[in-house]
Structure 1
Amino acid sequence: MNEAKSPSRLTADRLLQLPIDPELALLFPGQGSQKVGMGRSAAESSQTAAGTLAEANEALGFDLSHLCFEGPEDRLRETANTQPAILAASVAILAAGLDAGTIKRRPALVAGHSLGEYSALVAAGSLEFGAAMRLVRERGRLMDEAGQASPGTMAAIVGLDEATVEEICRESGAEVANYNAATQTVVGGAPQAVERACALAKEHGGRGLPVRVSGAFHTSLMEPAAKAFAELLAEAEVAEPLIPVVGNVSGETLASAADVRADLEQQIRRPVRWHQSVDAMTAAGVRRAVEVGPGKVLTAQLKRSHPSLDARPIEEISETANV
């Protein structure tokens, strides 16, 4: 007798079995999208979603779903908790969307912002959900430790193009962490370097907005975390994605398991090329994007950076929509 499939595996399988829509992409949010209560409505409306969250609890050995539903917020904001919580909530929300019939088509591409790439890889059948949960729990812990060992901060530079921000980084000692949009680039580094970058941004007519994080993620200050995480990643089972995944580091499609490993290993210490990733998706024919996860952060960004793209969060899609 075949072993029963887990709820998360059923979700990935169901997505694969849908007729493909060459103009659709599913996008998964990263850290910063967390909120107390996330995943609750999915679990209440979908047995598959509830089962997915139970899987997450089992994988980590504690009641993560309670933390998602009830908080407290300060514990949910801890990086080692935030990262698995967003992954679990995102996959549960995907399951609920499939159960409700709000997702009727298989996407041509999937992608996730930073941590969200793990949700995308689970949806694409490249990572098993339980393994992904354990990986991101350790990823969050290692990134937090690196932030404590080498204190750093981050800021969003808005109103300036990428080339100008790169020049500001060369002058200030900060580093580009996220290419979020043509005129929104997040920088990170030692506090004095980021402070200098914000001052230079103001001189150039832009603004520097502090980002509340526990370290300078996606910069060289995360090198110790990246090295330790690479050892964990080497032991993890990674499969070739069954749905094409656009990777954060290259902004290009990850065609093999080796590509996935390389991207995840480098991602911790290298900038997220989100703007380039979305450009690659639209160049491939994507015209609609659905944000699958808590909140609307990616949708709001896309409405500004790629206004021709029909971007919506899954929570605003009706059962009659053609998604």
Structure 2
Amino acid sequence: MMTTDQARSAVVFPGMGPSRFTDVGKFMMIDPFVRKRLAAADDALGRSVLDEFRTAGTDFGAFAQVAFFINSVALADRAVETQGLAPDVCVGFSFGQKAATAFSGALPFAEAVRLTHELALCEQRFFEEEHQDLVTLTITRVPAAALAEVLGELAERGEFHEVSGHLDEGMHMVTMREQVLEPFQRRISAIGGYSLYSMKPPAHCRVLTGLRARVEEEVLAEFDVADPELPLVADHDGALITRADQLRTLLLDTFDHPVRWHPVVDTLRGMDVRTVYVTGPDRLIHRLDVTTRAFDVVALGPEQALRPARPASRKEQ
């Protein structure tokens, strides 16, 4: 699918934020692209995803994850059908790797549904036993030097902490004990920063090597991942993924490697990607300065899909 005589495009599947039926339920019930994917997902799991999602009591539960995955893939379907999306490369950022695995052809959609569900259940079992006291906080407006100072203060007190991601200039993800979350947030505010949201269970840190090992043994071993038909870009170092073994490693790396968006942007720019389609319920990637400076960004989430007009690109906003 690579081209040399015209600018290239990429599709980006975003990471997962809190996912609630009240936010996306109407979209899922009426959008024809979602309805088609829902029918296939229901067959794959032997139950109604929409019903399970509607009655779920958690924003990150198994069926909230499956619903987020379905919406992301369906929105990419919509972009292909209505906007002529024919990407040269794709990116799965954090949770978005699951949608990228399906869209790239490395797993049939039904198998990717089952993988998403089984991964969620495996994580749930793991965190019922391990690291129940950890959370991952996303912060912004915090320069690297200021972050180093605050993390140094945690280190002086012997507090566990890890950087779980670098998203943009001044935007980071930090994992810590839940008991120090509020004082850490106050400290971030004192230096002019802002706390966006926290996630529990935590994500993307070296302390989760046990989860990585469990997923590899109990879940991923049951799935026959193929070479992707569309190359992927790794969300932690920008490496180009073209083989099944590389993709399997990437799916495991997400547990114990911090995510970093700048290397992804660098790789896409090196491939002469000019337009990025962010397909999924995204609150972050399409708004990052590093993204909008580098590309013409087309955001296609549930809100944009429900509008009668074509989603506006960055240049039109």
TM tier relative to shorter chain: 0.7 to 0.9
Aligned partner (choices 39, 58, 61) of residue 46 of structure 2 = 61
Residue 60 of structure 1 and its aligned partner are, at CA, apart by 2.0
Give the 3-state SS of the residue equivalent to 1:156 in structure 2: strand
Residue 264 of structure 1 and its aligned partner are, at CA, apart by 0.7
Give the 3-state SS of the residue equivalent to 2:88 in structure 1: strand
Structure 2: how far apart are the matches of 1:319 and 1:35? 25
Question: Identity percentage over the alignment?
Answer: 23
Residue 119 of structure 1 and its aligned partner are, at CA, apart by 0.6
* 1:110 corresponds to: 90
Deviation digits for residues 181-232 of structure 1 (CA, Å, limit 9, x no counterpart): 12101111322465565466456x3425263422111123433321111112
Asked if 1 retains the 8 angstrom alpha-carbon contact of 2:166 and 2:261, the reply is yes
Residue 163 of structure 1 and its aligned partner are, at CA, apart by 6.1
Structure 1: how far apart are the matches of 2:78 and 2:186? 45
* 1:187 corresponds to: 174
Aligned partner (choices 208, 218, 221) of residue 222 of structure 1 = 208
Asked if 2 retains the 8 angstrom alpha-carbon contact of 1:158 and 1:206, the reply is no
Q: Measured at CA, do residues 92 and 106 of structure 1 come closer, stay the same or move farther in structure 2, by a change above 3 Å? A: same
Number of equivalences: 299
51-60 or 164-173: which moved more?
164-173
Structure 1: how far apart are the matches of 2:80 and 2:144? 38
Deviation digits for residues 102-134 of structure 1 (CA, Å, limit 9, x no counterpart): 2x1311221122110111121111122222222
* 1:156 corresponds to: 138
Structure 1: state its 5+ residue gaps.
Answer: 1-15
Aligned partner (choices 117, 123, 141) of residue 137 of structure 1 = 117
Residue 241 of structure 1 and its aligned partner are, at CA, apart by 1.4
TM-score after normalising by structure 1 = 0.79
Give the 3-state SS of the residue equivalent to 1:268 in structure 2: helix
Structure 1: how far apart are the matches of 2:312 and 2:195? 37
Residue 166 of structure 1 and its aligned partner are, at CA, apart by 5.4
* 2:68 corresponds to: 86
Asked if 2 retains the 8 angstrom alpha-carbon contact of 1:33 and 1:86, the reply is no
Structure 2: state its 5+ residue gaps.
Answer: 155-159
1:266 aligns with 2:248: no
Amino acid at match of 2:89: L
* 1:122 corresponds to: 102
Residue 177 of structure 1 and its aligned partner are, at CA, apart by 1.2
- Coordinate RMSD, CA, aligned: 3.2
Deviation digits for residues 25-52 of structure 1 (CA, Å, limit 9, x no counterpart): 1111222163425375466353x54232
